Amino acid sequence: MFPEMRVVHSTGFYYPDSTGGTEAYVSSLAGSLRSYGVGCIVAAPHASEEPARSVHEGVEVFRYPVPERWLRRELQGKEPPRRLHFFEDWLRRQGADVYHQHSWTAGCGLWHLKAAKRLGLKTVVTVHVPGNLCMRGTMLYEGRAACDGKILPERCAACWLQSKGLPATAARGIAKLPRPLPSLQWLPRVGSALSARALAAGRIEDLQAMSAAADRIVAVCQWLHDALRANGVPAGKLVLNRQGVAARGPAPLSRPGRPSGVVRFGFLGRWDPVKGVHVLVEAFRRLPSDLPVTLDICAAVQGRTGEKYRDQVRRSGSGDPRIRVLPPLPHREVGAFLSGLDVLAVPSLWLETGPLVVLEAFASGVPVIGSDLGGISELVGHGRNGLLVPHDDLNAWTAAMLRLATDRALLERLQRGVGPVRTMVEVGREMAALYRELKATGRYAA
């Protein structure tokens, strides 16, 4: 089909340099949009001096150059990133109808959105992570309970300072300071601490700037939609378009063969403390040693921090032969891995906006035991297609796994409760309709 529309998708990270939920979403969306007459090209930053081009799964990818080391003012968004002209010159030549941005970073942020607006393109921003709203990036107030997402500078500053190691009393006192003393604000750590309230206020300004430059802002889950609305994003610009999985065949009617009576738990994701793998491993190790269970951990590692976390978790579980740490899988093998599980565990310690792995598990007919937070609790129906557990309660995690391992009737009921799953075909259809609406109206939402 010859495309009747052309859309540029931009993202701060993309294959093959990195793999993650946003990358998978953008790749699947670009593929599904072909069926609806929408031609796509992906743009992503690359630390280099010259642009580069490649093709990923049939979609052209333009890698525009960005600095290897960012200046402080670039990271703060106070001045445009160096080499921005490469991006803007390329975008001008694309003849695109819509510019759709999926990240909010120094390499793909407000300056890039404004460039698209300046060139006359209709603009869409999809918010994939809590970082647009939350200074911690987790949306957990003081690291404990789910936050409503409303940016209140003093509250947010105190919460953020506690994440940096300050005691609650000191953090709340510093958070009352409207601005740092001029003589101290340039000290790297002291200046940032004393500027906490101003930094939080900057989040509001960034959100307002995003709202002004975007014709539509897409939230991929309900809690994120509500939080954006609570922070003043106009209802006319907000769109709820939930994530979906790449379409594949029907879920298997029976689980693959395995030792009789063994219940196989699994984790699929990446090595990052917010994914809570350490909680899962510690809770699993507390199960009786003679209980017929296994835990397979299949996760990708990104950067030195991810490597250190992986090694730490691997050491903590090394004394339990029932725990296996597997190498990461290419996406084409994810379905086979999930189909071999009885239960997928999603022990996230932050408010997920999906996660896609829950939908992937459901697409394979596998129930989920997950943290009772954010997008997980929107997808998992407790007692219907999985179990929800307090995210930071080790005893509750152990008890939930023990229950699933010893109550075969419950496990089978949860497996039967897994229903149809939303796919990227549906996401693509709704997004194509949104693009056409923008193109047809010729006007922006108020």
Tell me what pLDDT residue 445 has.
Answer: 39
Tell the CATH superfamily of the 263-417 domain: Glycogen Phosphorylase B; (3.40.50.2000)
Question: Do 44 and 26 meet the contact criterion of CB atoms below 8 Å apart?
Answer: no
Terminal Cα-to-Cα distance of the chain (whole angstroms): 34
Superfamily of domain 5-134+202-245+424-441: Glycogen Phosphorylase B; (3.40.50.2000)
CA proximity to 338, closest of 353, 358, 320, 322: 358
Per-residue pLDDT of the chain (446 residues; tens, 9 = 90+): 556 899 999 999 999 888 778 998 999 999 999 999 999 999 999 999 999 999 999 999 999 999 999 998 999 888 999 999 999 999 999 999 999 999 999 999 999 999 999 999 999 999 999 988 999 999 999 999 999 999 999 999 999 999 999 999 999 988 988 765 454 444 444 446 778 888 899 999 999 999 999 999 999 999 999 999 999 999 999 999 999 998 755 555 455 545 568 999 999 999 999 999 999 999 999 999 999 999 999 999 988 999 999 999 999 999 899 999 999 988 789 999 999 999 999 999 999 998 999 999 999 999 999 999 999 999 999 999 999 999 999 999 999 999 999 999 999 999 999 999 999 999 999 999 999 999 998 644 33
Cα(391)–Cα(192) distance, rounded to whole angstroms?
30
Distance, CA of 116 to CA of 121 (rounded, Å) = 6
Is the pTM here over 0.85, yes or no? yes
Tell me the DSSP string of 347-373: --SS--S--HHHHHHHHTT--EEEESS
Q: What confidence score (pLDDT) does residue 186 get?
A: 43
**C-beta of residue 181 within 8 angstroms of C-beta of residue 193:** no
Burial of residue 261, with CB atoms counted within 10 A of its CB: 0-12 exposed, 13-18 middle, 19 or more buried: exposed
Name residue 327's beta-bridge partners: none
DSSP state of 443: S
Comparing CA positions, the residue from 195, 127, 187 lying closest to residue 161 is 195
DSSP per-residue codes, 223-246 = HHHHHHHHTT--TTTEEE----B-
Q: Where in the chain is the domain with CATH 3.40.50.2000?
A: 5-134+202-245+424-441, 263-417
CA–CA gap between residue 419 and residue 367 (Å, rounded): 10
Residues 198 and 180 sit within 8 Å (Cβ to Cβ): yes
Query: What amino acid is encoded at 283 in this protein?
Result: A
Q: How far apart are CA 217 and CA 210, in angstroms?
A: 9
Cβ-based neighbours of 249, under 8 Å, separated by 6 or more: none
What are the CA-CA distances from residue 417 to residues 341, 349, 361, 382, 393 (Å)?
16, 25, 13, 10, 25
Residue 198 and residue 157: Cα distance in Å, rounded? 8
**Which pLDDT score, from 0 to 100, does residue 195 have?**
82
| Residue 177: CA count within 13 A, CB half-sphere | 18
Predicted pLDDT of residue 192? 64
Burial class (CB in 10 A: 0-12, 13-18, 19+), 410: middle
Nearest-angstrom CA–CA distance, 138 and 352: 8
Beta bridge partners, 148, equal none
pLDDT of residue 176: 87
